[in-house]
Amino acid sequence: MTRFAENSNDKNPAKMRILVEGWRFIPHSYAIINHFQLLQLRRRPEVELFHRDRPFVKGSDWKPASGLLDEAAEATIRAIAEPPPGWVPDATLRMYCPFDLTPAPSGRTLVFGCTEWGIVTRYILRAMGVDSFQKAHGDNDTVIVTSSRWSRDGFVRSGADRDRVKVVPLGVDPTIYQPVTPAKKREIRRKFGWEEDCFLFLNVGVMWNERQGIDMLLKAFAAICDRHPEARLVLKGRDAIFPSRDSIVRASRQVLSERELQKIAPRLIYIGESLSCAQMAQLYQAADAYVSPYLAEGFNLPVLEAIACGLPVICTDGGPTDDFIRDEFALRIASQLKNPWREKERVFVVMPQFDSLVAHMERAIADAALRARSHDFGPRWVRDRFTWKQTIDRLLPLFDPAMTLDPTTVPPEIAQSEIAQSEIAQSEITQSEITLSGITSVRPSQSIIVEGWRFLPHSYAIANHYHLLEMSDRPNLQVFHRDAPFPTRDARSIADMVDRATGDRLRAIPPPPPDLFADTTLRIFSPLNLREAPNSRKTCVFGTTEWGIVHPQLLLLHDRAPLSEILDRTNTLIITPSNWSREGFLRSGAPGDRVTVVPHGVDPNLYHPVSEDERESLRRQLGWDGQFIFLNIGAMTAEKGIAPLLFAFAQIAETHPQARLVLKGSDAIYSSDESIRRVCEKTLDRRQAEIVRDRLIYIGTTLSASAIVRLYRAADVYVAPYLAEGFNLTVLEAIACGLPVICTRGGPTDDFTRPEFTWYIESQLETITKFGDLRYARSPNWDSLIALMERAIASPEFRLQARSSGPAFVGDRFTWRRVVDRLLEVILPDRAGDYTDDTAKPSLRERPPAIGQYSQYTDPTPAPPPHPPASYGVPADLTGKRVLELGTTQGYWSFEALRRGAREAIAANLQIEGVTAPFDRQCFDNYRRIRAFDPSVCSYRDLSLDALDPNQLGYFDVIFLFGTCDRVRYPLLLCDRLATLCRGELYLEAAILDDYSRDRGGLGCGYPGSQMLLEFNPNSTTNNPSQPLWRPTLYALAQLVKSAGFTQVKAWKLTDSPQTEPQCRGFVVGSHLG
């Protein structure tokens, strides 16, 4: 940090002299923030700190109070004195309201403030004594510090200089706000006099006006009480400074009927007195979920405090909480950005949807897995990013008057709008001046730092190029790039890899400014750096496991520590391009929810076929006229399958003298020519070597993308008999250029190839020990490869078919634009919809909205499952998976799987005695037609037990078996059959015996714990799922799946304490990870 200007009266000129002017010792958010910031500043040896108390809001009867913090902390804050006469600060920070933008007599001036209503309201302007906020801020160099992007945009709308509005998020003290054990939670509930077995929703705030959504919360709670009499709602107000109690009473009378009032009255708990931070933490620790259906907030600190205490949070989507929540612990209430009149001026709100709020409250009660995940993940997330220490770390650079303030990223729609340019307080704003149509698309800008390779002939660098080019074109997205070193000493940047215009665009992407705190850092280089980026909210790392496992070389930057240990210390998300590669990370110890598949793509403007005349002309230019060209592009290392390729070509060339093999290597970084020479010596005899030598065309120099495209367009077949790949981008590029491809079955190319343009080389999964490390490979069958190369020469019709079907398939699914759409959904989940090109949906595998949203369009929607979909534990990301849904009646989970990215889904009705139920084929077909799913992607079948055979059906990555296993006569045989079909995960749901036994007396008379029991009901009406033929304990159900051959098994109950028989259901996931 730059030293502050020296003062001759200062005995320690190296210290930063900071004066804070603000509120202390009242239960107001500004004062609470000021307390914790003062405590942190006091700990910094480089800071000389003084404080000047400012008067409370004019006309208020607020009185200072003690006990908000512990005695030692309050004593520390009181000990911060007023500045002595003659003391000159380097910077002044104001922490009170109304805002005072007047520059301090010396140094830099910072003013903390929030714009809850999305503007600086006229009430604030009057209190400031100004007519125009734009003029008040434009006449000086005062810096506004605010806590969220929502609030920042409110200042900018009101005319603030965008370059001088800085976002510094708030924090928590993790020694106060932290999760507790179940025993401690029960103890706290007893202390407050609350039932130990109730479900407790909590909301904390002023309750003073409509912006916190208390009226909607009360209405939603009344609806919840109808179905969940065990539910309770605790409201914590601030009667000392706001009329919180009266506001709740008034809201209740306005929105609730007399019946609803009577229903919630005994279940509503109100606390209005001031509590210490430690007592506030106990409220969070005693609760089960925090709920905040706000309309307008500046930050909403209680949500962050609740997360730190391990609670799942239910809060409005689209507002300031988007800056610090994650789907692992947050349920987002669907909302709409609105611009209503309030007190004679237009304000901005995110209006929560009532049905969404009720649904999320229902899920919070039902979803024990969500609560457990929140208890573990949420506190770590907050501790790693949002402590008061980190707040001060971000704030301190702003105090330095020598620091150049870089412009903040502000959405151009806001910056150029009438709202931002007008002086809001000077004149009445008519409805024609500010309309919803002009603001509904406004979203806060976001920033990404990419750390990676550029201008190198490596797949990571190529992917990085296209990611950067696509992201740079996205609105409301600021992209920065930092070059990462290449590990090979001899590797050098190669300028002509791309054309001049593209190179200029890539070089124009700036490095991140020193004080930037970005939304995401994305790393795309090797070895992997899985540490969290200190200057970003989220860290994502791209990586691949070609050999089906993370080998130690990939973890060099972590001293080759086990992957599971590394990820235990971080929240970094791994992004990988294929399911094969994802499974490699899982084998190495990565949790499934920390590895996401985002495939690679192609640029269809470059990679596309040409006319036959152009192709023939190109072949003549290359000297390939009259020859049959097999093409392979890559490093020519062992895992690329160069040995089987050279051997197979030697056999082909003996009978097909016109055959040629074109190998495009990469001598610049891999010495590909040497690899080929060594393989020839080891694999081919002298005669074979001579045949290959005369017919082999080798290109080792680095070519531009356009030059490589010429190779694809002129070739006849692309052949890739690889053993281990992370994705194999060249196969996808070949398909896009209209080539049929021959490639290994069972590897990553399964994610993006189809039989219409692909011949698959049979292979076996094998383990290989290399350099002392165990690795996994798909060993291609050499005879199969030879037969397919023969077939390729003899099949002109297939080659012609591939010229049309392949490019159409790739253009529909695997363009870089679609890839970056998916990438941004993953790395910027808060703003995923802003970056998606809605005008170019894929026609075969479209991703429709959630199934339950279709009823408003009168679609023939499949009936939803009997339990909340989230309770089934199905991953949100099924990209590239092949899915089988068994025992369905309308295909709900098949369509849902396709929505989540599956490449194919089959809905099947089991033709087994006792299980077969009528399948609504009309509903299935109509829905498939409306959603434009091709039958090759989404299909229905009737299947017998004997038909559950991989020779008839192929293999599946995911199998759903919901509500079926407990109704078949031979459940173990069924699971055995499914184990032969499944190479990934089996998701099974069934009735369980833990809390309900027909023989022992019904509900509450089951067999809890690890008891290996199945109850048989021979009189069951087997077509009724509520009367199962078998009812095992959850432990027995899990062991049944495990005995079928699934190596890893997880199981959980639908409801921890079921109140009805239908709630007595269990879920099991069995996984093949070997």
CATH class for the region spanning 182-386: alpha beta
Half-sphere exposure of 614 (CA within 13 A, CB side): 8
pLDDT tens for residues 182-211?
999 999 999 999 998 999 999 998 887 678
Greater model confidence, 449 or 430: 449
Task: Report d(CA 637, CA 654) in Å as an integer.
Answer: 25
| Beta pairing partners, 1003 | 996
pLDDT at 840 over 70: no
Report domain extents, the chain.
Answer: 16-167, 182-386, 446-594, 612-814, 851-1071
In 3-state terms, what secondary structure has residue 140? coil
Greater model confidence, 1054 or 735: 735
- Which band of pLDDT confidence, cut at 50, 70 and 90, is reported for residue 662? very high
Task: Report d(CA 40, CA 34) in Å as an integer.
Answer: 10
Greater model confidence, 832 or 134: 134
| Cβ(631)–Cβ(734) below 8 Å | yes
What is the secondary structure of 196-217 as a DSSP string? TTSEEEEEES---SGGG-HHHH
Q: How far apart are the first and last CA of the chain?
A: 51
Give mean pLDDT, residues 309-333: 95
Strand order in the sheet with 165-167: 47-53, 16-22, 91-95, 108-112, 143-146, 165-167
Q: Of 251-260, 723-732, 967-976, give the range with the top mean pLDDT.
A: 723-732
Task: Report d(CA 584, CA 607) in Å as an integer.
Answer: 30
Continuous segment of H or E residues that includes residue 643: helix 642-655
Task: Report d(CA 213, CA 220) in Å as an integer.
Answer: 11
614's CB contacts (< 8 A; 6+ apart) are 713
Task: Report d(CA 689, CA 687) in Å as an integer.
Answer: 5
Q: Which of 847, 844, 760, 846 is nearest to 809 (CA)?
A: 844
**What is the predicted pLDDT for the residue at 846?**
31
**Alpha-carbon distance values, 312 to 170, 271, 365, 489, 1054 (Å):** 19, 21, 11, 48, 18
Task: Report d(CA 902, CA 881) in Å as an integer.
Answer: 5
Cβ burial, residue 565 (10 Å; 0-12/13-18/19+): exposed
- Which band of pLDDT confidence, cut at 50, 70 and 90, is reported for residue 401? low
**What is the predicted pLDDT for the residue at 714?**
96
Q: What value does the CA radius of gyration of the chain take, rounded to a whole number of Å?
A: 32
**What is the predicted pLDDT for the residue at 438?**
30
- Which band of pLDDT confidence, cut at 50, 70 and 90, is reported for residue 952? confident
In 3-state terms, what secondary structure has residue 436? helix
- Which band of pLDDT confidence, cut at 50, 70 and 90, is reported for residue 359? very high
| Cβ(533)–Cβ(504) below 8 Å | no
The letter for the amino acid at 528 is L
Share of the chain above pLDDT 70, in %: 88
Q: Which of 247, 250, 252 is nearest to 262 (CA)?
A: 252
**What is the predicted pLDDT for the residue at 428?**
32
In 3-state terms, what secondary structure has residue 236? strand
Q: What would the two tokens of residue 138 be?
A: 């434009």
Q: What would the two tokens of residue 547 be?
A: 């050999």
Phi, psi of 346 (to 5 degrees): -85, 130
Look-up of token digits 């027909």: 998
Same CATH topology for 16-167 and 851-1071?
yes
**What is the predicted pLDDT for the residue at 930?**
64
Greater model confidence, 880 or 933: 880
- Per the prediction, the chain carries an average pLDDT of 85
Q: What is the dihedral of CA 757, 761, 762, 764, to 10 degrees?
A: -120
pLDDT at 532 over 70: yes
pLDDT at 980 over 70: yes
- Which band of pLDDT confidence, cut at 50, 70 and 90, is reported for residue 932? low
**What is the predicted pLDDT for the residue at 917?**
57
Scanning 743-795, the segments in alpha helix (DSSP H) are 782-793
Task: Report d(CA 337, CA 319) in Å as an integer.
Answer: 9
What is the secondary structure of 322-342 as a DSSP string? GGT--TTTEEEEPEEEE--EE
Half-sphere exposure of 160 (CA within 13 A, CB side): 31
Q: What is the CATH number of domain 16-167?
A: 3.40.50
Cβ burial, residue 756 (10 Å; 0-12/13-18/19+): middle
Task: Report d(CA 763, CA 761) in Å as an integer.
Answer: 6
pLDDT at 365 over 90: yes
Give mean pLDDT, residues 100-107: 92
What is the secondary structure of 855-885 as a DSSP string? GGGT--PPPPPSS-GGGG---S--TT-EEEE
| Cβ(1042)–Cβ(1070) below 8 Å | yes
Task: Report d(CA 435, CA 782) in Å as an integer.
Answer: 67
Task: Report d(CA 840, CA 122) in Å as an integer.
Answer: 44
**Bridge pairing between strands 268-271 and 289-292:** unpaired
**What is the predicted pLDDT for the residue at 913?**
58
Phi, psi of 791 (to 5 degrees): -65, -35
- Which band of pLDDT confidence, cut at 50, 70 and 90, is reported for residue 1009? confident
**Alpha-carbon distance values, 279 to 15, 73, 195, 272, 605 (Å):** 36, 15, 18, 13, 62
Greater model confidence, 615 or 911: 615
Cis upstream peptide for 401 (omega within 30°) = no
**Bridge pairing between strands 1030-1032 and 1048-1053:** unpaired
**What is the predicted pLDDT for the residue at 912?**
66
CATH superfamily of 612-814: Glycogen Phosphorylase B; (3.40.50.2000)
| Beta pairing partners, 1042 | none
Question: Sign of the C-alpha dihedral, residues 300, 301, 306, 312?
Answer: positive
| Cβ(295)–Cβ(560) below 8 Å | no
**What is the predicted pLDDT for the residue at 1074?**
44
Residues in the chain: 1074
Query: Three-state SS across 542-600?
Result: ECCCCCCCCCHHHHHHHCCCCHHHHHHCCCCEEEECCHHHHHHHHHCCCCHHHEEECCC
Q: What is the CATH number of domain 851-1071?
A: 3.40.50.150
pLDDT at 927 over 90: no
Give the least confident one: 106-115, 142-151, 896-905.
896-905
pLDDT at 262 over 80: yes
Task: Report d(CA 274, CA 62) in Å as an integer.
Answer: 12
pLDDT at 10 over 90: no
